[in-house]
Chain A
Amino acid sequence: QKEVEQNSGPLSVPEGAIASLNCTYSDRGSQSFFWYRQYSGKSPELIMSIYSNGDKEDGRFTAQLNKASQYVSLLIRDSQPSDSATYLCAVLPLSGGYNKLIFGAGTRLAVHP
């Protein structure tokens, strides 16, 4: 069973702080990893993609990937109330021609003023 696990939260952080969102996955052969943000009542929006071990930065967002530990994370610096949303970790397994993204259940982030 290919799985992606996230803490459901809510993760509550004060405005201006760093929010750290974590995700683990079970398929060791996975090659592509994504973070999506979903506001309540809206569809998911791509935040970051990462394919290689290490860090990838884009503005206030940093994705971190550690394939040996099967772990991917998203850091949000200078968190704003507008960052309050559910963050979905998604993994694309490689094995067996399986071409469907596997989503975690999402972590709800609440940034309070």
Chain B
Amino acid sequence: GAVVSQHPSWVICKSGTSVKIECRSLDFQATTMFWYRQFPKQSLMLMATSNEGSKATYEQGVEKDKFLINHASLTLSTLTVTSAHPEDSSFYICSARGSLAKNIQYFGAGTRLSVL
């Protein structure tokens, strides 16, 4: 199956710092990438959708100035959590859809963010 690589898998940072998470599609071109957040024992929550070369579309209630998304190429999208605070601690998961198969979204392994 298609591979979506996400790094880092775990990050711990101090409150007020920024953290960048990378998501790469390794064997297909990802025309659309998605970023999700998941709190323990809760459902996936879509944060934003990005198409290559375009600005991301954020879901209602998601601060675009806090969660910066860049989708500069067909294989790479990044999520930057700016000025992170403890309430931003969560499991962030990217997903990609593209040229490989009919409407299928493949997920990265996720990044667990802990803000101290």
**Contact at A100–B34, with CB atoms within 8 Å?**
yes
Partner of B46, one of A41, A49, A92, A100: A100
**Contact at B1–A46, with CB atoms within 8 Å?**
yes
> Which of the four size classes fits the interface of chain B?
10 to 19
**Contact at A44–B102, with CB atoms within 8 Å?**
no
**Contact at B105–A101, with CB atoms within 8 Å?**
yes
Shortest CB–CB separation between residue A76 and chain B, in angstroms? Answer: 19
Q: Which of B86-116 contact A (CB under 8 A)?
A: 91, 93, 101-110
**Contact at A92–B103, with CB atoms within 8 Å?**
yes
Chain A residues within an 8 Å CB radius of B54: none
A36 to B105, CA, bound (A): 10
Of B32, B105, B107, which is in contact with the most chain A CB atoms at under 10 Å from its CB? B105
Interface residues of A (CB under 8 A from B): 31-32, 34, 36, 41-46, 49, 51, 88, 90, 92, 99-101, 103, 105-106
Interface residues of B (CB under 8 A from A): 1, 32, 34, 43-44, 46, 49, 91, 93, 101-110
A-B pairs with beta carbons under 8 Å apart, 13 shown: A32-B103, A36-B107, A42-B110, A43-B109, A43-B110, A44-B107, A46-B104, A49-B101, A49-B103, A88-B44, A99-B32, A100-B34, A100-B46
